[in-house]
Amino acid sequence: MATIYIDNKPYVVKDRQNLLQVCLSLGFDLPYFCWHPAMHSVGACRQCAVKLFRDEKDTRGKIIMACMTLAKDGIRISIDDPEAKKFRAGITEFLMTCHPHDCPVCDEGGECHLQDMTVMTGHTYRGYRFRKRTHRNQYLGPFLHHEMNRCIACYRCVRFYCDYAGGRDLNAFQCGNRVYFGRHEDGVLENIFSGNLAEVCPTGVFTDKTFRRHYTRKWDLQTAPSVCVHCALGCNTIPGERYGTLRRIHNRYNGEVNGYFLCDRGRYGYEFVNGNRRIRGPLLRGPGGGEARPCTRGEALSRMEEALHTPGRLIGIGSPRASLESNFALRTLVGKDRFFSGVSERERKLSAAALEILQRGPARTPSLHEIRRADAVFIIGEDVTNTAPIMALTLLQLVPCKKVALARSLQIEPWDDMSFREAIQQECAPLYIASAAPTGLDDEATRVYHATPDDVARLAFAVAHVLESGVPGMEGLPENVSGLAGEIACALKEAERPLVISGIGGGSLSMIEGAAAISRALRSVCGKGELSFLFPECNSMGLALMGGRSLAEAREVLREGDADTLVILENDLFIRDAKPAVEELLKSAQHIIVVDHTHNRTSERAELVLPASTFAEGSGTLVNSEGRAQRFYRVFVPDGDIRESWRWIQDMISISGRGEAAGWKVLDDIAGAMAREMPEFEAVTRIAPPADFRISGEKIPRQPHRASGRTAMHAHTDVHEPMPSDDLDSPLAFTMEGYGGQAPPALIPRFWSPGWNSVQAVNKFQQEIAGPLKGGDPGQRLIEPAEGVKSASPDKIPEAEGLRPGEWLLVPLYHTFGTEEMSVLSSSVAERVPAPYLALCPEDALSLGIGEGEAAELIASGEAQQRIRVRYLKGLPRGVAGLPVSLPGVGMIDLPQKVSLVIPAKTADTGKV
Amino acid sequence: MITDEEKKEIRELMSHYATARAAGPEALKIVQNHRGWVSAESLKAVAEMLDMSCEELDSVATFYNMIFRKPVGRHVMLICDSISCYIARYDMLLDHLNRTHGIRMGETTPDGRFTLLPAACLGACDHAPAMMIDETLYGDLTPEKMDNILGKYQ
Ligand code: SF4
Ligand code: SF4
Ligand code: FES
C-alpha cells in the first residue's frame, strides 16, 4: 500500500497504480478521454492533468498527466490547483475547436462523455471563430453509424478495435488536425466486437445504427438489469425500451463475467424481440392442422383443460433457452420422469458428462475474470470465437506472467499500455488449439492441430500422459503428434495458471474426457490448472443441472403409447434433431401445446400456442457455462397475454386440479420451490434481493428521474397519467419514482451518477476502478468441485480414426452471426449471416473435382438428403467436411458423423446447379 | 496493381527488415517513384505483399505528407512556409506563381506540369525564401529567378 497526498489530504491506495485510476477509485471527478479502465493509459489526450509537487514545501509544482504517473508512496498532487484546472479547461477547448456542436441531433447526446467532461472542466464558452475542418463519413455495415466530425482524436477506437479486439480493418489515417478514424474505404467492419465502439468512443462518432432506427434519448429509456441470451457466457446487459419496443442493448458491467464489453451478437441480436414472428396472443389450431386462429385466454384455458384431462398421459419437453423457473414449472407439471430436456441425445450426453466432470473436480471452472489471468491455454475442439465470443476476446488479452515480471523490472507497469506492449514485444501467453476444423483464434495461436475429433482427443490424452509420466504412452501416435503433446504439456506445466477449454460444440465425448484428463493430471502433478467447458445456449448448463431425458427417449415414450400429449417449452425441435425423427415425434402425439415467444416450425404444429415472454418482457434465472446463476428482469410490460412461460404452465398445473403451483405467486416462490426440490439450486434463492426488498421503503425505478415523456406518452388518449403496472416479481418498478441512489448490484437498472451521464458512470458503482461492483458482482456459482480428489474412471482413449475412401467425416462449424437461433432473426445480424455451405479443404475438393460454389449432395444415414454449395476451407483435415449445422437453411444433422457426398453431374454450360 | 519490377524492388527491400511490415514506408516510396503517387489499387497490392491490411498500410501512407495518395503533377514543387521564409516574404513567390501558373497551395496546373505544396522547413533558412522541385533545392528566390528555374521543368 502507498500513502499519497491529494490536495494535502493523505489517502492510502494500492501499490503500482496510476494516479488517474487511483483518483477515480477514491471518488474524485478527474476528467479523462483516452484512458479506458480496460485499455489503460497512453497519455494521448492530455485531459487528466494534475499538479505534482516535489514535497510539502513546493508551492509551484508542475503539471503532469495523472494517467501516466505512478501513484508512488508519498507523492503529492493537486486536482483543485487553479493552473491544473485552467489547463484541463484549455484542453477541452482545444479538442472542441472543430467539433460541430451538434448535440441536439447527435445520438450520443445525453449520455456523452465529451459533454460530461466539457461541463466538468468548466469550458462553457467557445472562443474559436475560425473555419472547422470537416470529414466525409463512411458506411460501416449494419451495426455502426459514423459521424467523423465529432472526433476528438483520443485514439480509443483504434486501440480497442486493433490492439484489444485484434481487428485489422479500422485505423487512424492522416495526422494532426486532419486525423481520421475509419476504414480505408466504405465497407462492413468485420470484427465481431465492433459494436463496443459505440460505448468506447467518448463522443458521437461511432453510434449504434440499430438504435438510430428507433432512437430515444437515454433519459427516456426504460431499463432493467438483464442477461444476454445469445450464448452460454451470460454477459450482463442493460436492454432499453420505449413505447413497447426494445430499442437497444448496452453493456452492464459485471467484474466476474463480461467486464466492459459485449460481442455484436449479444448487442444486436435483440431485434427478434420486436420481430414480426413473435407470438403475441394465444392461438388455436384445428385437429387437421392448417392455419391457427387467435383466441381468447379463456378459450386457450379450456382447450388446455381438454388436452390435460387424462393424468399420466403427458410429457414435457424443456429447453436450454428457457429460464430455470420455466423448465422447473414444466418438470413439476409432468413429473421428473416425464420431463425431457429438449436437446439431442448427443448434446444431453455431452452436457451431462461435462457437468459431472466439473462437479467431481478437482479442476474448477473459472469465471471470465479468472480466465483473464490464465497464462497458458489449451483449447480442445471448440471454436471459441464463434460459440462464446467474449471468451475469445478475453483470451486475446492473456500475457505470460514472466513477461509482466520482465516489464516490471524495466519499471513498466501493465497499465502503461504502449510501453507495456513494447516491453513484451507482442508476446502472448502460449495458446494451443486442437480441433477438427479451423477456428477463429487460429491466427493468434502458438500452434494449431487440426484432425478428426478422435485424433484430437488422442492428442489430449497424450498431453495428460506426458504430464503424469513424461511420455505419451499411447500406441501408434505419430511422431509429430507426440512431439506436440510434449510441447503443450510443457507449456501448461510451466505456467502459473494453466487453463484447458473444451465444450459441447465439437460434439465429441472423447474430446471432453481428454480435456478432463489433462486438468486432472495438472491438478495431481502440479496442483494447479482450471477447466472450462463451453455449453451451447444461455441456459444449457441450467438444464443439465436439472436433468431430464433426451428427445430420442421422448420419441420412444410416445411410440410405445405411454403418452399422447406433448407440452413443448420454448423449443424448436427441428433444430435439435433430424427432420424425420422430429416428424415422428410430433405425429405420434395427439395433442401438442407449445409455449414460446417466436413462431418456428414446431409452433406451427401445435393445436394450442401460448405466448411467452422473451428475456425483455419477463424475469427469470439462467445458468452460464461457468455455472453462475444470474437473474434477468423484465424490462417492460408486454401487451396482451404475453407472460413468462412458467405462469402458463402454472395454469396448466392448476387446471389439472393439482396444488403444487398454488403457492407460486411471484418469481421468488417458484425459485424457492425449485431449491427445495433440487438442492443444487439452493443458491438461486440468494441471487438477488427478494421481491419485497425496499430501500427506505421504496422500489428501484426502471425509468431514470429525467424521463421527459412520462406525462406526454398517453396524452393523445388521456391527459391523466395511467397507473404504472406493478411488478410483483422484483423490487424494480415501472416508473421514475422510487429510490434515487445506487441499487444493490443485481438490481442496477442503468449506470448514472451526477455529472456522469455516459457509460463511464460505471466508475462510481465499483469498489475500485475495474474491480467488483459495490456490494459484490452479481450471480451465484452453483458448481464447485467436490472436496478431495475422487478416483476417476479409467481413460477411454479412442482409436485413431480411419476413414474409408468415399467416406467423409462431417463435423459442425460455427458462425458468430448465423449459428445462434434467435440473433439471426435480428435484421442487422441477418445481414452478416453467410449462405448455407458445405466446407471441404481445397485438396479434397480438387480431387473430387468440385469447384467453389458448386453443389454437392450430402447423404447421411436415416436423414433427408440435402443439396448444398461447397466452400473451400483451408485447414480442414483431409477426409473431413464441415457443415455450419444451425445456419438458417441447413438441415439438422447430428454431428460429427460419417456421411457420403455425391457430386451431381454438371450441366454442360456452367457447372452450377 | 503494381508491376513485376516494383514487386522485385519491394521484395529486395523486405529482405532487409526483420518483419515485412517494417518495410511499409519505403515500399510505398518505391511505388511512388515509379508512378508519381500511390493509388488505392497499388496500396492494396503492396499491403498484400507485406501481409498487412489496407487500413494498416494506408494509416502509414496517409501519415506521411510526402506519400501522395492522390495524383500529382509531373513535378512537385515544395515551397517552404516556415518562419524564416515567412519573414523573407515567401508569399510573394506564391502570388507570383498564382499569376503565372494559376495555382495555389495544394493545386496542380491544368497541364499537369506542377503540383504546389507547402513544406514546413527545407533546412535552408540561410537562403530564404527557398523551394524544392522534385529532388533539387533552390534558395534566395525572387519571382524572376523562379521563372527561370520553372522553365527548366517541362
Ligand atoms: S472516433 Fe471516437 S474513439 Fe476514435 S479517436 Fe475519435 S473520439 Fe476517440
Ligand atoms: S459472448 Fe455470448 S453472452 Fe456475451 S454478449 Fe456475446 S452472445 Fe451474449
Ligand atoms: S486520460 Fe490521461 S492523457 Fe488522456
- How many helices (H) and strands (E) would you count in chain B? 7, 4
- Confirm whether A432 is domain-assigned: yes
Domains of chain B, each with CATH number or no CATH: 4-63 (1.10.10), 75-151 (3.40.30.10)
- Confirm whether A651 is domain-assigned: no
Residues of chain A in contact with residue B40, where contact means CB-CB under 8 angstroms, are 184-185
What distance in Å separates residue A179's CA from the closest CA in chain B?
9
Residues of chain B in contact with residue A170, where contact means CB-CB under 8 angstroms, are 55
- Confirm whether A176 is domain-assigned: no
Yes or no, beta carbons of B54 and A184 under 8 Å apart: yes
Grid cell for residue A513: 474426457
pLDDT tens digits, A50-74: 999 999 999 999 999 999 999 999 9
Output the furthest CA–CA distance in chain A (Å, rounded). 93
Q: Quick one: pLDDT band at residue A312, thresholds 50, 70, 90?
A: confident
For residue A615, give the nearest of A224, A275, A341 by alpha carbon: A224
Higher local confidence (pLDDT), A176 or A619 = A619
pLDDT in the model for residue A502 = 98
Residues of chain B in contact with residue A184, where contact means CB-CB under 8 angstroms, are 40, 43, 54-55, 58
Is the minimum distance from the CB of A751 to ligand 1 under 6 angstroms?
no
How high does pLDDT run on average in chain A? Answer: 94
Determine the Cα–Cα distance for residues A773 and A258; give it in Å rounded to an integer: 13
Answer whether residue A797 shows pLDDT above 70. yes
Among all bound ligands, the one having the nearest atom to the CA of A113 is 1
Determine the Cα–Cα distance for residues A734 and B54; give it in Å rounded to an integer: 49
Answer whether residue A911 shows pLDDT above 50. no
Selected for mutation to probe chain B from A133, A138, A184, A191 (highest B CB count within 10 Å) is A184
Strands (E) located in A293-386: 293-294, 314-317, 339-340, 376-380
Residues of chain B in contact with residue A174, where contact means CB-CB under 8 angstroms, are 62-63
Q: How far is the CA of A357 from the centre of ligand 2 (A)?
A: 24
The model carries a pTM of 0.96
pLDDT tens digits, A752-778: 999 999 999 999 999 999 999 999 999
Does A174 lie at the interface with B, CB-CB under 8 angstroms? yes
Yes or no, beta carbons of B63 and A174 under 8 Å apart: yes
pLDDT in the model for residue A789 = 58
Is the minimum distance from the CB of A154 to ligand 1 under 6 angstroms?
yes
Q: Which residue of B has its CA nearest to A184?
A: B55
Q: How far is the CA of A763 from the centre of ligand 2 (A)?
A: 22
Question: Residues with Cβ < 8 Å from A720, sequence gap 6 or more?
Answer: none
Grid cell for residue B135: 529532388
- Confirm whether A55 is domain-assigned: yes
Tell me whether the omega of the peptide bond preceding residue A896 falls within 30 degrees of 0, making it cis: yes
Determine the Cα–Cα distance for residues A164 and A191; give it in Å rounded to an integer: 11
- Confirm whether A73 is domain-assigned: yes
Does A183 lie at the interface with B, CB-CB under 8 angstroms? yes
Q: Quick one: pLDDT band at residue A909, thresholds 50, 70, 90?
A: very low
- Confirm whether A88 is domain-assigned: yes
Q: What is the DSSP code (8-state) at residue A766?
A: B
Test site for ligand 1: of A35, A95, A155, A160, most ligand atoms within 8 A of the Cβ: A155
Mean pLDDT in residue range A548-556: 93
pLDDT in the model for residue A283 = 97
Q: How far is the CA of B107 from the centre of ligand 3 (A)?
A: 38
Yes or no, beta carbons of A173 and B40 under 8 Å apart: no
Nearest atom (ligand 2) to Cα of A390: 1
Is the minimum distance from the CB of A40 to ligand 3 under 6 angstroms?
no
Question: Residues with Cβ < 8 Å from B3, sequence gap 6 or more?
Answer: B34
Yes or no, beta carbons of A184 and B63 under 8 Å apart: no
Q: Quick one: pLDDT band at residue A907, thresholds 50, 70, 90?
A: low
Answer whether residue A737 shows pLDDT above 70. yes
Q: Quick one: pLDDT band at residue A906, thresholds 50, 70, 90?
A: low
Determine the Cα–Cα distance for residues A408 and A412; give it in Å rounded to an integer: 5
What whole-number percentage of chain A has pLDDT above 70? 98
Q: What is the DSSP code (8-state) at residue A376?
A: E
Contact between A861 and A808 under an 8 Å Cβ cutoff? The reply is no
CATH at residue A24:
3.10.20.740
Contact between A752 and A235 under an 8 Å Cβ cutoff? The reply is no
Q: Quick one: pLDDT band at residue A241, thresholds 50, 70, 90?
A: very high
What distance in Å separates residue B95's CA from the closest CA in chain A?
23
Domain boundary among A76, A95, A114: A95
Q: Which residue of B has its CA nearest to A173?
A: B59
CATH at residue A855:
2.40.40.20
pLDDT tens digits, A817-845: 999 999 999 999 999 999 999 999 999 99
Answer whether residue A425 shows pLDDT above 90. no
What count of other Cβ atoms lies within 10 Å of the Cβ of residue A590?
14
Answer whether residue A1 shows pLDDT above 70. yes
Yes or no, beta carbons of B40 and A170 under 8 Å apart: no
What residue numbers bound the domain in which A88 lies?
2-95
Measure Cα distances from A115 to A424, A439, A816 in Å. Answer: 36, 41, 34
Mean pLDDT in residue range A255-274: 98
Determine the Cα–Cα distance for residues A615 and A598; give it in Å rounded to an integer: 12
Give the three-state DSSP class for A547: coil
Answer whether residue A908 shows pLDDT above 60. no
Q: Quick one: pLDDT band at residue A629, thresholds 50, 70, 90?
A: very high
Output the furthest CA–CA distance in chain B (Å, rounded). 50
Nearest atom (ligand 1) to Cα of A153: 5
Selected for mutation to probe chain A from B55, B64, B65 (highest A CB count within 10 Å) is B55
Answer whether residue A711 shows pLDDT above 90. no
pLDDT tens digits, B10-53: 999 999 999 999 999 999 999 999 999 999 999 999 999 999 99
Selected for mutation to probe chain A from B21, B42, B59, B64 (highest A CB count within 10 Å) is B59
Residues of chain A in contact with residue B53, where contact means CB-CB under 8 angstroms, are 168-169, 171
Selected for mutation to probe chain B from A159, A161, A173, A426 (highest B CB count within 10 Å) is A173
Yes or no, beta carbons of A183 and B43 under 8 Å apart: no
Q: Which residue of B has its CA nearest to A189?
A: B55
The contact set of B with A (CB < 8 A) is: 40, 43, 53-56, 58-59, 62-63
CATH at residue A469:
3.40.228.10
Does A188 lie at the interface with B, CB-CB under 8 angstroms? no
Answer whether residue A794 shows pLDDT above 80. no
Number of domains in chain A: 3
What distance in Å separates residue A175's CA from the closest CA in chain B?
5
Is the minimum distance from the CB of A203 to ligand 1 under 6 angstroms?
yes
Determine the Cα–Cα distance for residues A564 and A570; give it in Å rounded to an integer: 19
Domain boundary among A470, A499, A528: A528
Yes or no, beta carbons of A173 and B56 under 8 Å apart: no
Q: Quick one: pLDDT band at residue A804, thresholds 50, 70, 90?
A: confident
Q: How far is the CA of A107 from the centre of ligand 1 (A)?
A: 15
Q: Quick one: pLDDT band at residue A93, thresholds 50, 70, 90?
A: very high
Answer whether residue A802 shows pLDDT above 90. no
Domain boundary among A60, A95, A130: A95
Helix A417-424 to helix A401-409 angle (10° resolution) is: 110
Q: Which residue of A has its CA nearest to B51?
A: A168
Residues of chain B in contact with residue A173, where contact means CB-CB under 8 angstroms, are 58-59, 62-63
Determine the Cα–Cα distance for residues A80 and A165; give it in Å rounded to an integer: 36
pLDDT tens digits, A181-220: 999 999 999 999 999 999 999 999 999 999 999 999 999 9
Q: Identify which of A171, A175, A185 has the shortest CB distance to residue B56.
A: A171
Is the minimum distance from the CB of A49 to ligand 3 under 6 angstroms?
no
- Confirm whether A267 is domain-assigned: no
pLDDT in the model for residue A457 = 96
Q: How far is the CA of A176 from the centre of ligand 1 (A)?
A: 14
Residues of chain A in contact with residue B59, where contact means CB-CB under 8 angstroms, are 171-173
pLDDT tens digits, A104-150: 999 999 999 999 999 999 998 888 999 999 999 999 999 999 999 99
Strands (E) located in A730-888: 732-733, 780-781, 808-812, 838-840, 855-859, 866-872, 880-883
pLDDT in the model for residue A790 = 59
What distance in Å separates residue A181's CA from the closest CA in chain B?
9
- Confirm whether A850 is domain-assigned: yes
Q: Quick one: pLDDT band at residue A722, thresholds 50, 70, 90?
A: confident
For residue A277, give the nearest of A714, A815, A824, A802 by alpha carbon: A824
Mean pLDDT in residue range A470-483: 89
Selected for mutation to probe chain B from A140, A171, A175, A177 (highest B CB count within 10 Å) is A171
Grid cell for residue A439: 477456428
Yes or no, beta carbons of A170 and B55 under 8 Å apart: yes
Q: What are phi and psi of A220, to 5 degrees?
A: -110, 5
Q: Identify which of B40, B53, B59 has the shortest CB distance to residue A173.
A: B59
pLDDT in the model for residue A712 = 78
Is the minimum distance from the CB of A44 to ligand 3 under 6 angstroms?
yes
Is the minimum distance from the CB of A234 to ligand 2 under 6 angstroms?
yes
Yes or no, beta carbons of A173 and B54 under 8 Å apart: no
